[in-house]
Every structure is written in structure tokens, then in C-alpha cells.
A and B are shown apart, each in its own frame.
Chain A
């Protein structure tokens, strides 16, 4: 099953979104939050991103979503030297992308499909 990592400046935002996506997708899916700077202040943290990727990785790949600007830079930094595409940062809205990716992952879809669902969320209407 494809794993999912949620990188946010906020510990609470990453955890809350992991809770929400787990409720929609079901408990079986591996969704790992990586929020906050060291010590829990607002910010991002390469070590917690790296650890979350390791926890999320069951062998079928990992999709990483980031909330804003420097969270993307932190993820890119962590992914340097991992060019094989097994761990993919997606250009997707944080909430909708996470929910879309999690449901696809829970249904056993491929890394391409999970990443595609997250990025496809860019055009989704809320109502």
C-alpha cells in the first residue's frame, strides 16, 4: 500500500489532517504527519520529514504533501539523492489532496494513481 506523509508548519495541522484523512479513508492506510519545527514551534523540520517517510514506506511508494512554501523546500531537501521516484512530492492542495490520495491508497491503487489523485484535486470543486 502506498504511504502518505503530510508536511506542515504546524504540528496540530499535520496531525489534524492525518486524523481527518484516516477517518475518510479507513484505518488501514498509512498516513504520517510531519509538522512543526524542532521543539514544536511553527516551522518545518527535515528530521521529522525523513522519519515520517520511513514510517509511511511499506515498499509501494510514498506520496508527500506540503502545506506552504518552505515546507516544499524542506521536502525537496530531504528528497535530494532519492531520484528514483519511490517517494514523490506532489503539487496538490493540502486538505483535498491528502483526502484524495488517502482513499486511493486505501483501495490499493498504484503510486502513479495515488499521486495523480492528489494532483487532480487542484481542480476539484467543493460543492
Chain B
């Protein structure tokens, strides 16, 4: 599941994880806002992708444009010093989203 790369000096950590949206929660409006606000709490660059589309996890408009419906699998990818923490926090956020 986790694919944390070994840290090397000067190389940012990267991490990715697949997580599934609760079946009754689309990544729109309030849930999307909660997701993006969580992402904005980290320094790492974070992407979220699904169904061949990729979005900057810190951009509400990009996340809304994914149009991810309930039950969709999201791939989270982060790169930076707090990549692991960011992915962990976002995965928890996604699992706990509610309408």
C-alpha cells in the first residue's frame, strides 16, 4: 500500500496511496473544501488523480473539476519533506468525509 521512497540527502520524500471515497460522498462542495483545506496545511506538492484526470490537491477548482463521485478511488501523491504526513492526513480526511 505505502510506497515511501527512502530519503536521500537533498531529495524530497515522496509518497503515494490509493484511497476510496465513501460511497455516499462526492468530492464536491463542502467535502472538496475540507479535502483542499487539509492539503493546504502541508508544504509538500500534492496531487490527486482519478479516472485519468489529475488535480493539484491545493486547488479547490481543480479538485471540483475532477467530478469524483462517491465510491471513486483516488490516488494521492505527495512530494516534499512532509509528504508522508500529508498523505496520511488526506487519506484520513477522505475516509471520514460526509455530506
A: residues with CB less than 8 A from B are: 23-26, 96, 99-100, 103-104, 106-109, 117, 120-121, 124-127
Contacts and interface: CB of A to CB of B under 8 A. Distances in A.
Contacts of A108: 40
B59 A125 contact: no
A107 B30 contact: no
Chain B interface helix/strand/loop/mixed: helix
A24 B61 contact: no
A125 B62 CA distance: 8
Interface of B: 29-30, 32-34, 36-37, 40-41, 59-62, 64-65, 67
23 contacts: A23-B30, A23-B33, A24-B29, A24-B33, A25-B37, A26-B30, A26-B33, A96-B61, A99-B61, A100-B59, A103-B33, A103-B36, A103-B37, A103-B40, A104-B40, A107-B36, A107-B41, A108-B40, A117-B59, A120-B59, A121-B61, A126-B65, A127-B65
A24 B41 contact: no
Contact of B65 (A26, A109, A124): A124
A127 B60 contact: no
- Closest CB pairs A-B (n = 6): A107-B40, A124-B61, A24-B33, A103-B60, A107-B37, A25-B33
A106 B67 contact: no
Contacts of A26: 30, 33-34, 37
